[in-house]
Structure 1
Amino acid sequence: MQRSISILIIFLLFNFSTAQTKFGNPEVDPAQIQKNFSGWSAYQNKNIMLSRDFVALHVLSNEISKESFLDQLANGNFIPIRLKSDDSIYYYKLFKIQTNSDTSIKATINQIGFDALKNYKMEGTAFPKFSFKDLNGTEVSNETMKGKIIVIKCWYIHCTPCIKEFPQVNRLVEEYKDRKDILFVSLAEDSPEQLKVFLARKPLLYAVIPDMKIYMNETLDLNAFPTHFILNKEGFISKVLPNFESLEVALAKESKL
C-alpha cells in the first residue's frame, strides 16, 4: 500500500514538473504581486488581456477552457498570471489569492472576470438588428453594412475613459482608411445637440449615432463603458472589448481573416 502511494506521489510530481517546464514559470512572483493593490493593478492592466486568445491553465497547470477560466476569476479566489514562453502563444494560469492579500484585489478580479465572461459569451452570436441615422443623417443598419467588418464604440460624453482613448481610436481609423471593408461606428447616449457641441472640441472619426442610451442599456445589456464590438462580415460578434488596447489587437487579427 505504501509503495502504491509513493508511486502515485512521484507520478503527480513528475506531471506537475513537466507541465511547469512545458508552459514556463510565472513572469512575476504570484505572492509578491499580491502584496498591494497598486502593484497588482499595474501588472494586471499591462500584462493580462482576458479578451485575447490564450491557453488557460488551472492551478496544477492542467489546461482548461477559456470559459471555465473566466468563470473561476468571476466567482472564485484566483488571480491570473502570465507564464513565460518562447513561442507566440499566451499562457495564463490561475494562482490562489493569498489570505493576507489586499481584499480589493479579489473584489476587482471578480468584477473583471464577470465582465470578461459576459463579453466572451456574446462572441459568435448575431448582433441585434438595428437601423439608425448618424449625426450627418446617413442611415446605418445591418443591411447598409452587410459584408463589412464593423467596429462599434459605445460611449457617452461624461465617460472619462471613453474620451481619453479618442486619439487612439482616431489613429486606428486612419490606419485602416484604405480598407473599404472596415467601417467604424459609434453609439452615444447623448442628444444630437450635445454631441455636435462636444465633438466640435474633441473630434471622433467614427460615424456617431446619438440617443443610444436605451438601446445600449436594454438591447445590448451594457454596464461598462467604453465597450467595443467587432462584427465579422456575416454580422456576428467576433469580439467584445473593454478598451483600445484590446481593440487594436483584436482588429489586427480580424482584418487578416
Structure 2
Amino acid sequence: MKTFISFIITFLIFNFSFSQTKFGNPEVDPIQIQKNFSEWSAYQSKKIMLSRDFVALDILSKEISKETFLDQLANGNFIPIRLKSDDSIYYYKLFKIQPKADTSIKATINQIGFDAYKNYKMEGTAFPDFSFKDLNGNVVSNESMKGKIIVIKCWYIHCTPCIREFPQVNRLTEEYKDRKDIVFISLAEDSPEQLKTFLARKPLSYSVIPDMKVYMNESLQLNSFPTHFILNKEGLISKVLPNFESLEVALAKESKL
C-alpha cells in the first residue's frame, strides 16, 4: 500500500513539475506580488497586456481559450501572471488570489477582466456606421474610409490618461505618415470651441471629431478612456485597446497584414 501511495505522489509531483516547465515558470512570485497593491499594479500595467495574442493557461497549466481566460478574470478569483519563455510567444497563467492578498487587487482585476472581455468580444464585428465632420470641416465616414486601416482614439479633455499619451500617439502618426492606407481619427466628447482652445496648447496629430459623447456612450458603449480601435480594411474591428502600449503593438501587426 505504501509503495502505491509513493507512486501516486511521485506521479503527481512529476506532472506538476512538467506542467510548470513545459510553459516556463512565473516571472514573478504569484503570492508575493499579491501582498501590495502598488507593486501588483506596476507589474500588471507593464507586463500583462490582455489585448495582445497570448497562450492562456488555467491554474493547472492547461491551455484554455482567451475568452474563457478573460471571463475567469472578470468573474473569478484569479490573478494573471506571465510565464518566462525563450520564444516570442506570450504565456499568461491564472493563479488563485490568496486570502491575505490586498483586497483592492481582486476588485481591480475583475474590472480589468470585464473591460478586456468586452473588448475581445467586439473583435471581428462591424464598427457602427458613421459620418462625422472634423474640426476642419472634413467629412469622415465608413464610405470615405473604405480600403483603409482606421485608427480611432476615444477621449475627452479632462481625461488625464488620454492627454498623457498625446506625445506617444503623435509620434505614432509620424511613424506611419508615408502609409496612405492608414488613417488616424479621434472622437472627443467636447464641443468644437472647447477642443480648439485645448488643442492650441496640447496638439493632437489625429483628425478630431467633436461632440461624440452620445455616440461613444450609446453606439460604442464605452465606459473607460482612453479606448483605441483599429479597423481593418474591410471595416471590421480588429482590436479594441486600453492604452498606447497596446495600440502600438497591435498596429505594428495590423500594418503588416
Normalised TM-score (structure 1) = 0.97
1:254 is matched with 254
1:221 is matched with 221
1:191 is matched with 191
Shift of 1:116: 0.4
Is the partner of 2:171 in helix, strand or coil? helix
Whether 1:108 and 2:101 are equivalent positions in the alignment is no
Q: Distance in 1 between matches of 2:16 and 2:232?
A: 40
User: What's the C-alpha RMSD, in Å, of the aligned pairs?
Assistant: 1.4
Q: Distance in 1 between matches of 2:5 and 2:54?
A: 35
Shift of 1:15: 2.9
Shift of 1:14: 3.0
Deviations 1:87-132 (A, max 9, x none): 0000000000010011000000000000000000000000000001
Shift of 1:21: 1.1
Q: Distance in 1 between matches of 2:172 and 2:75?
A: 35
Q: Distance in 1 between matches of 2:20 and 2:159?
A: 42
Q: Which runs of 5+ in 1 are unaligned?
A: none
Q: Distance in 2 between matches of 1:226 and 1:253?
A: 21
- Aligned residues: percent identity? 86
2:230 is matched with 230
Q: Which runs of 5+ in 2 are unaligned?
A: none
Is the partner of 1:40 in helix, strand or coil? helix
Shift of 1:247: 0.3
Q: Distance in 2 between matches of 1:94 and 1:206?
A: 38
Q: Distance in 2 between matches of 1:58 and 1:45?
A: 21
1:49 is matched with 49
Q: Distance in 1 between matches of 2:145 and 2:82?
A: 38
1:35 is matched with 35
Q: Distance in 1 between matches of 2:3 and 2:238?
A: 52
Is the partner of 1:170 in helix, strand or coil? helix
Q: Distance in 2 between matches of 1:148 and 1:8?
A: 59
1:172 is matched with 172
Moved more, 188-197 or 13-22: 13-22
Is the partner of 1:245 in helix, strand or coil? helix
Q: Distance in 2 between matches of 1:63 and 1:125?
A: 25
Q: Distance in 2 between matches of 1:195 and 1:46?
A: 31
Q: Distance in 1 between matches of 2:226 and 2:187?
A: 10
Aligned residue pair count: 257
2:58 is matched with 58
Q: Distance in 2 between matches of 1:214 and 1:7?
A: 64
Aligned AA (1:37): F
Aligned AA (1:87): D
Is the partner of 2:120 in helix, strand or coil? helix
Q: Distance in 1 between matches of 2:247 and 2:66?
A: 19
